[in-house]
Amino acid sequence: YPALEKGTIDAAEWVGPYDDEKLGFYKVAKYYYYPGWWEGGLNLSAIVNREQLESLPKEYRAILEAACYEASIAMMTKYDAQNPIALKKLIGSGAVLRPFSREILQAAHKASYELYEELAKTNPKWKKIYEPWKAFRDDQYLWFRVAETTFDNFTFTAGAQRTP
């Protein structure tokens, strides 16, 4: 916040509207840009020593897995419920909602994937994770274009037509 207020940095974001509103960024930054292309969705990580995990009884491993699922779902539902309310508050407090241009999104996307490919050539650990992730992501893109995106576009358009 102080760096944004002083002009040391030009922009800031912390997860989404719910956290951004609590942190008061709108008080020192007039524009609120979307989408947050660098963070397409919520994600939690649990880092566990494999040997220690495997040494646990099955029931304890199941408890840990269930707790991880629960934490992830609880976080997602909290933000899904709170972000629309916070976005309305941000706009009501004077923040101006603006989309990133298609050109900015395309440039960021291109630069990101160029970096990922470069890292895959020079970092074997990155490559080991990146390549199967990329294959999975491509399958998900196919599925989401067929089902999720089509449904979302229809539903959001139909919902907007009903809203007074």
Q: Report the predicted TM-score, pTM, of the whole model to 2 decimal places.
A: 0.78
pLDDT score for 156: 87
pLDDT score for 163: 62
pLDDT score for 37: 73
Average pLDDT over residues 128-153: 93
Residue by residue, what is the 3-state secondary structure of the chain?
Answer: CHHHHHCCCCCCCCCCHHHHHHHCHHHCCCEEEECCCCCCCCCCCCCCCHHHHHHCCHHHHHHHHHHHHHHHHHHHHHHHHHHHHHHHHHHHCCCEEEECCHHHHHHHHHHHHHHHHHHHHHCHHHHHHHHHHHHHHHHHHHHHHHCHHHHHHHHHHHHHHHCC
pLDDT score for 164: 60
The dihedral built from the CA positions of residue 87, 90, 94 and 95, taken in this order, carries a sign that is negative
Q: What percentage of the chain carries pLDDT values higher than 90?
A: 70
Q: What's the whole-number average pLDDT of the chain?
A: 91
pLDDT (tens digit, 9 = 90+) per residue, 97-119?
999 999 999 999 999 999 999 99
Asked if residue 99 lies in contact with residue 34, where contact means CB atoms within 8 angstroms, the answer is: yes
Asked if residue 28 lies in contact with residue 4, where contact means CB atoms within 8 angstroms, the answer is: yes
Least confident residue range of 96-100, 125-129, 144-148, 157-161: 157-161
pLDDT score for 35: 87
pLDDT (tens digit, 9 = 90+) per residue, 14-71?
888 999 899 998 899 889 998 887 777 778 889 999 999 999 999 999 999 999 999 9
